[in-house]
Chain A
Amino acid sequence: MHLRNALRAATALSLTMVGAAQAETITIATVNNGDMIRMQGYTDDFTAKTGHEVEWVTLEENVLRQRVTTDITTKGGAFDIMTIGMYETPIWGANGWLVPLDDLSAEYDVDDILPAMRNGLSHDGTLYAAPFYGESSMVMYRTDLMEKAGLEMPEAPTWDFIREAAAAMDDPANDINGICLRGKAGWGEGGAFITVTGNSFGARWFDEDWNAQFDQPEWKEALTFFVNLMNDYGPEGYATNGFNENLSLFQQGKCGMWIDATVAASFVTNPNDSTVADSVGFALAPDNGLGKRSNWLWAWALAIPAGTQKEAAAKEFIEWATSKEYIELVAANEGWANVPPGARTSLYETPEYQEVPFAKMTLDSINAADPTNPTVDPVPYVGIQFVAIPEFAGIATEVSQEFSAVYAGQQTVDEALEKAQAITNDAMEAAGYR
């Protein structure tokens, strides 16, 4: 009897010790987006399930990129999980900087991840980051203003129609701009938008031999169209408007249309923040009749840097945060409109979610984006609003600065394209592509 009790006690003690040894504190680097903040609020659920504690390091997006790049390349090991995007994941995965996520549990159901997201976050067929939420871009428009203008937004509009609608809704006397678009310098801001616009006009960053294509007529046509559209019907000073500035304008009822990230749909339809919440419609991003739409593809994803000492706990967290159960947890507490969108197929099969007004258009937009075939003419790169090579962020930031100078009226379209051509070719030559 005594022996049995002693054995029990020893077993209990050893189990406790194993439990204690396995409980870790993981550090996660992330950005301050609404869905990430919400996730931080549910950390207790993860801790209760696994015993692991979580430390959050929330950084500004550009600082985060710089910070995690430095940390990875110097093997600093400050983070066990980092929030990265579709641009970094395949590049870092190829460099061996990330832990492959090829052994996720069966319950996690990796096949449920939307194929577009899974492809974009993989390198050579291996998943390197799990999407926390995904987005494409689409047209958000004011249904009341469209009705007043006597127009009906098609589900898949052309750029010509967008211009016509912008002209019809533009009402400077009442402080309403026909259209609001990104003009802010930065590869992820205005640079992303003009790149996808270019895609729909048949333009591309490079030909198949990595020669810059800014001297081609398609770029001139795309940039000229954009500049004219915005000069005629866009807000004052659009050269410095990015996502947040346009969100603010749209929420205050100062834009007839806004073409931007699908994730914005939940913001502009939220009556607490938006004055136009009940009169917003959605449509696919426009095309120009060439078979390519101007919508991008992006995911905020969780990845594990190679070299972390807490790989197992980090994987447990990723499985928890990007699981179906997490989505259900958020839905139960905050409603279906607030769950992280764009990551899992099953979400779009949920009847309750199908009732969310922007659900279908978000999924259609994501499905309409093909990073492996982004342009009308063939290209040697993967990526829609970016080119998945390490040099791109630097080059595109410089090029977008030249474009923003056009938007600000400081130079002409021709001057900017000439500079863009030189900047890109010089950088690609220096990097050994040409």
Chain B
Amino acid sequence: MARAVTPQRKILTTLVAWIIGLLIFFPIFWTILTSFKTEAQAINDPPLFLFFDWTLENYAVVQERSDYMRFLWNSVIIAGGSTLLGVLIAVPAAWSMAFVPSRRTKDILLWMLSTKMLPAVGVLYPISLLFVEFNLLDTRIGLIVVLMLINLPIIVWMLYTYFREIPGEILEAARMDGATLKEEILYVLTPMAIPGIASTVLLNIILAWNEAFWTLNLTAAQAAPLTAFIASYSSPEGLFFAKLSAASTMAIAPILILGWFSQKQLVRGLTFGAVK
């Protein structure tokens, strides 16, 4: 039976949730606010809050100086491509781990995750050499492969967790009805795991969108995504916080909007299986 919740308790938890939410959102809010200030207003002490002459000048400068659409398009292709490729590989992998586990499945899962424990810079040289050797430097396909490999352990883990919640008997029944392995995965397992797959896809798009080590180190002019666009506004000698904020706002806007529209799906997917 559900526990009775008193109105006071409800107000309190709502209040706490709002405070935590606002605290987390504050840096993003401040970035957006700063993007509408002049450079002098951006460093004003005490900081200016809402009541200042709002300006779109920074956006105009950023638009003029950088080819935003090229960076955006690269981000979309790299984040989307790496996620799609990752899911294509991870669905069969997670299926086999969830439904036909071997003695070593648990070890393999842990071993896969262990690749995430190595700092990325540790393999910068080997990866760079491979990229040079295969002519992949500053190409979107190169980054798609690298980001897919980086996120693959997480995709497999998430999908494995979701698949484990699906009763194996349903798949057995499908097999009894003569479904082939491909049909079983494609028409029986996948539709049932849609919420889980959707949240995996969303989370990985966000991870790939924000990845700022490989995307900076393996690109130059052609394949650079929005992370490089933001980095180009950071300065060792000069105060360009307002322009940097405008660039950051433009870079996070698409993913923020995507997250906003899909938050129900995301929350459902992330809590999937938690309540029986």
Q: B236 to A59, Cβ gap below 8 A?
A: no
User: How far does the alpha carbon of A188 sit from the alpha carbon of B235 in the complex, in Å?
Assistant: 14
CB atoms of A57 and B125 under 8 A apart: no
Say yes or no for B137: interface residue by CB 8 A criterion. yes
CA distance A40 to B216 in the complex (A): 20
Which A residues, 266 to 286, have Cβ-Cβ distances below 8 Å to chain B? 267, 272-273, 275
Q: Which of B40, B43, B236 contacts A61 (CB 8 A)?
A: B236
A303 at the interface (CB under 8 A from B): no
* A213 interface residue (CB < 8 Å to B): no
The distance in angstroms between the C-alpha atoms of A367 and B137, with both chains bound, is: 42
Q: Which listed residue, B39, B40, B128, B236, touches A76 by the CB 8 Å rule?
A: B128
With A31-B235, A34-B238, A55-B221 already in contact, the answer to whether A75 and B132 are too (CB < 8 A) is yes
Q: B152-165 toward A: CB 8 Å interface, digit per residue (1/0)?
A: 00000000000000
Indicate if the CB atoms of A74 and B132 lie closer than 8 Å: yes
Return A124 CB to nearest CB of chain B, in Å. Answer: 28
Interface assignment of A228: CB less than 8 Å from any CB of chain B = no
- CB-based contact B131/A76 at 8 Å: yes
A247 contacts partner chain B, Cβ-Cβ < 8 Å: yes
Given A63-B216, A248-B43, A252-B43, does the pair A57, B237 have CB atoms closer than 8 Å?
Answer: no
With a CB–CB cut-off of 8 A, which chain A residues contact B40?
251, 272-273, 275
Question: Does B6 lie at the interface of the complex (its beta carbon under 8 Å from any beta carbon of A)?
Answer: no
Residues 67 to 85 of chain A near chain B (Cβ within 8 Å): 67, 70-71, 73-79
Contacts of B91 in A (CB 8 A): none
Q: How many A-B residue pairs have CB under 8 A?
A: 98
Chain B residues lying within 8 Å of A33, measured Cβ to Cβ, are: 235-238
Closest to A29 in B: B220
Whether, in the assembled complex, B232 has its beta carbon less than 8 Å from a beta carbon of chain A, the answer is yes
Asked if A14 CB lies within 8 Å of chain B CBs, one says no
User: Closest Cβ of chain B: how far from A69's Cβ, in Å?
Assistant: 10
Complex Cα distance A74/B217, Å?
12
Question: Which chain A residues lie closer than 8 Å to B45 at the CB level?
Answer: 252, 254
A67 touches which of B217, B233, B238 (Cβ 8 Å): B217
For the complex, what is the distance from the CA of A244 to the CA of B235, rounded to whole Å?
A: 8
Q: How far is A7 from B92 in the complex, measured between Cα atoms in Å?
A: 68
Within 8 A of A (CB), among B110-135: 124-125, 128-129, 131-132
Establish whether residues B217 and A70, one from each chain, have CB atoms under 8 Å apart when the complex forms. yes
Q: Cβ of B125 and Cβ of A70 under 8 Å apart?
A: yes
**In the complex the two chains form, is A56's CB within 8 Å of B221's CB?**
yes
Q: How far is the CA of A170 from the CA of B238 in the complex (A)?
A: 25
Knowing that A32-B238, A74-B125 touch, tell me 17 more A-B residue pairs with CB under 8 angstroms.
A27-B221, A32-B233, A32-B234, A32-B235, A55-B220, A56-B221, A57-B221, A63-B216, A67-B216, A70-B124, A73-B125, A74-B129, A74-B132, A75-B132, A76-B131, A252-B45, A275-B40
A-B pairs with beta carbons under 8 Å apart, 17 shown = A29-B220, A31-B236, A32-B232, A32-B240, A37-B65, A57-B220, A57-B221, A67-B217, A70-B124, A71-B128, A75-B132, A244-B236, A244-B239, A248-B239, A251-B239, A252-B43, A252-B44
Question: Which residues from chain B sit less than 8 Å from chain A, CB to CB?
Answer: 39-40, 43-45, 65, 124-125, 128-129, 131-132, 137-138, 216-217, 220-221, 224, 228, 231-240
